[in-house]
Structure 1
Amino acid sequence: SLENITEIGRCAKAYCEHTARSVPTLSDAVLTLIEMGFNVDTLPVYAKRSQRMVITAPPVTNAPGTPKSLSAGQKRTHPSHIPSHLPEFPDPHTYIKTPTFREPVSDYQVLREKAASQRRDVERALTRFMAKTGETQSLFKDDVTAFPLIAARPSVIPYLSALLPSELELQSLEETDSSEQDDQTDSENAAGNINSDDPGADKQNSMLPPSAVVSSAKANEDNMIDNPYLRPVKKPKVRRKK
């Protein structure tokens, strides 16, 4: 019966694993039958009986396989540790890797052409953006949308951009003024030290009339530039760490 066959298979597997094996042998099946109470000596007589039935193998049907036209290369065979009833390995084309990136181009001519095309595209995009967002002028009075041009905005004082200094000039002027101011403060400190050491100089300055002092201050005021755009930049004094 089905229960006896199932019990024989389970016990044979248990005996096989008990002896550290993975495939059951004939001895395992014999021990299983003895354990279940069967007489093993009657098996040869039962196998040689004349009225026995022979079960033929089931008919082999052609399983739908992969057409030869779609197969690429020769498939790998199973190693010794993999049973043969497991499915086969896929085609060798499955293991082929194809990089999806290209090496960077380092040619000088190609890089210059690419930079020029990118610059042209940026200028064209900015021009279209300004034409869509701002005021436009057309070459033809009938059709306003054909050949739109960016409207020119005339400035009130056109020569002002030429008179005003650029950012680089302002930066250089600031650097030169700061260095001159530092030198001036150093010279003033040195002069103050000399005057403090020389009492005769103090007496000479005290003996000068007040009119001479006023005239020198007025001369300094006359030398000052009235134009605010051309005056030197005044920076706060920075204390130097000793």
Structure 2
Amino acid sequence: MLQSYLSEIGRSSKSYCEHMARTQPTLSDIVVTLVEMGFNVETLPSYAKRSQRMVITAPPVTNQPMTPKALSAGQSKQHPPHIPSHFPEFPDPHTYIKTPTYREPVSDYQTLREKVASQRRDVERALTRFMAKTGETQSLFKDDINTFPLIAARPFSIPYLNALLPSELEMQQMEETDSSEQEEQTDTETLSMHMHADDSGAEKENMSVLQQSSALQAGRNGEENVIDNPYLRPVKKPKPRRKK
């Protein structure tokens, strides 16, 4: 009942205050509210001067923790007039004011190379750790397996096969040489077709010259296209020895 009585006094006084175009209720608004609620206002002075009146003292003021100057950034905003002074102060401006910042991209060659190298090292380290955790591992110490794990080597059935197979670069060079030889053959065929229309003597001489030049070019191309790999060189058959 006391709570409902006090809430009704506050609501009615606020309505009378707003009716008079004010924001804070005054004593006259509260008196009018009490009269409307049927309370005898003249009994208030005698009730306040009673002998058994209890006085409620103000609550003790506790020392609020002061933030050091090193942690405070900027000046805190003061309360506007419509906010009471006992409300807490505003926080630092940087906590609620948006200040976008843009960092310039790093264009130094040395720093970029160091960053790429560190990223590559981190990726390799993470991959090796992942392979060591998920796959089979070997250890240098028989007693403790988890001390220094190593990735287990997978043996191949034909270990020398990778050394015998040509690499991608060598395959590309071989394809380029094959295509160039095919183009030279087509050129020689077209030239021979044109030369057949001329005299027979000149044709024989020109054909012999062309054959010699093509043989020389083929020999040079063969010398240039020799793969510098002992496993990929053509097989040389030994000469048969003559019996004495």
Query: Do both proteins adopt the same fold according to a TM-score greater than 0.5, normalized to the shorter chain?
Result: no
Length-normalised TM-score, structure 2: 0.42
Length-normalised TM-score, structure 1: 0.42
